[in-house]
Amino acid sequence: QVQLVQAGAEVKKPGASLVVSCKTSGYTFTSYFIHWVRQAPGQGFEWMGVINPSGGSTVYSQKFQGRVTMTRDTSTRTVYMDLSSLRSDDTAVYYCARVRSGEVSGYRTFLYWGQGSLVSVSS
């Protein structure tokens, strides 16, 4: 079965960098895009960007451009989201999500989600 397993909670100081991992299994890793979405406490969802595990190409939300980097390791089937220059308002649960299909009709629908990684940014 398809699984996306994320690391647990982290506490970071303002100005630090964060790396969240998303280890996948149960499907062909290079066939499905992985998106990153975050949810601030008690808030809705914010899309951060997407990576194509096949070639590593990425598209980032302009809001995070310059601060976010998404990479993948095909040998371990793991996707990483790196966010730098952390601020208190980066406190959120960060989710990775795999798309429904590799086709145009499904590459922006999130069928499988990780369990989320809670990141707290505080001095």
Partner 1 sequence: DVVMTQSPLSLPVTPGEAASISCRSNQSLLHTNGYNYLDWYLQKPGQSPQLLIYLGSNRASGVPDRFSGSGSGSDFTLKISRVEADDVGVYYCMQGLQTPLTFGGGTKVEIK
Interacting residues toward partner 1 by CB under 8 A: 35, 44-47, 50, 59, 61-63, 95, 100, 104-106, 108-111, 113-116
Minimum Å distance from CB 52 to partner 1? 13
- What is the C-alpha to C-alpha distance for residues 48 and 35, in angstroms, rounded to an integer? 8
Which CB sits closer to partner 1, 18 or 99?
99
Q: Give the nearest distance from C-beta 21 to partner 1 in angstroms.
A: 16
Using the minimum distance from each CB to partner 1, give the nearer residue, 13 or 43.
Answer: 43
Nearer to partner 1, 99 or 121 (CB): 99
**Which of 32, 98, 99, 96 shows the shortest CA–CA distance to 68?**
96
Residue 51 beta carbon to partner 1: minimum distance, rounded to whole angstroms: 13
The set of long-range contacts for 99-103, using a CB threshold of 8 Å and a minimum separation of 24, is 99/32, 99/33, 99/34, 99/35, 101/32, 102/31, 102/32, 102/33
Minimum CB separation from partner 1 for residue 18, in Å? 19
